[in-house]
Amino acid sequence: MAEATDRPGLTPSQTVGPFLHLALDVPGDRVAVEPGSDGSIVVRGRVTDGNGDPVPDGLVETWQIDGRFARCATDARGEWVVHTAKPPAAPTRDGTLQAPHLCVSVFARGLLDRVVTRCYFDDEADANDVDPTLAAIVEDRRHTLVAGGSAVDGYRFDIRLQGDDETVFFDI
């Protein structure tokens, strides 16, 4: 039991609630890389619930291996957008090379804890084909982790919290 005093218990998560905008909706946080600058991309999407209705009071955060971070609250249509750059391919702990991806958190009223997913890119097909995380997902759900579009037109990554075609979420 000595260990218990050395190692404090974890603080549990609680829902972000409907009024997260008061502190977490900071417009500048949507931009990790200035739009139009070299290598910049735009990633947008819509968060929907089990009825397919928009989630108008959520928050989407993107983190990536090169240290870039962005976040955006969803609007009345459930839409969010961030400006960043495509991250480099990065190795796993055992040295396997992964396809470029964003690590994505979604916070919302009705979620006791964030849900975590990954945003891969459809125009990285060769890298995606050998990505060890994508390979571990059953084939008919794998597409939920891949954003369509391109660097020129922008990428689209919709997030379905529940229901038909529910996005794959990870226990990290």
Q: Tell me which residues touch another protein (CB under 8 A).
A: 3-4, 6-24, 49-51, 53, 55, 57, 61, 63-65, 67, 69, 90-96, 98, 103, 105, 107-116, 132-133, 136-137, 161-163, 166-172
- Give the count of alpha carbons within 13 A of 156, CB side only: 7
Can you tell me the distance from the alpha carbon of 114 to that of 134, in angstroms, rounded to the nearest whole number?
21
Nearer to another protein, 137 or 149 (CB): 137
Nearer to another protein, 85 or 161 (CB): 161
Q: Closer to another protein at the Cβ: 49 or 79?
A: 49
Q: Which residues of 34-43 are buried (b: 16+ CB within 10 A; e: fewer)?
A: eeeeeebbbb
Q: Which helix (H) or strand (E) holds 142?
A: helix 139-142
- Taking the complex as a whole, how short is the minimal distance between the CB of residue 152 and another protein, in angstroms? 27
